[in-house]
Chain A
């Protein structure tokens, strides 16, 4: 089946620290991979995506590389800011199930000044 497992939170970091949020997946076929972010009181927003192996998605200083050999799509940022405080969701869209997204449980990040 299709599923996403991501690092449990919550994560608390100081400003300018390095961030990694791990995400691994199980999928049949060739999924597309996504990171969504949810700021307090808002909906899910697409942060970045990668549609095939070895692709790197990047946005707002965040990066994630689609690793087929390790079935991973870890989210990284070199220097976090207070404004990055949010919940981050890893997700996949499987190639064999139409439009359906499969989400991880979400990882809450708090960045303190």
Chain B
């Protein structure tokens, strides 16, 4: 089991550009969440996808959008990049359903630098 994988590992963009980050969930998982971790801070929830729809969203502008594919993999898109978007972007997957807690497993992250 490869666990949660993310690509690319590192990315450098300039202000105003657009970026796409990718995530493949752990085998058997159908829910994908994205988090932004700025340097020296804790991760902040961006949004969560399940059944190819956005189910929950944190306090992030519409420049942040996502997609989930039928194979449960997901993309995070950020438009009109700002310097403040520089961060580690973490993907987490889980198995939905049931009334009890289903652990979220995190990927290694994509380090985005905006110049």
Q: Do A and B come from one complex?
A: no
Binding site for A on B (CB under 8 A): none
Binding site for B on A (CB under 8 A): none
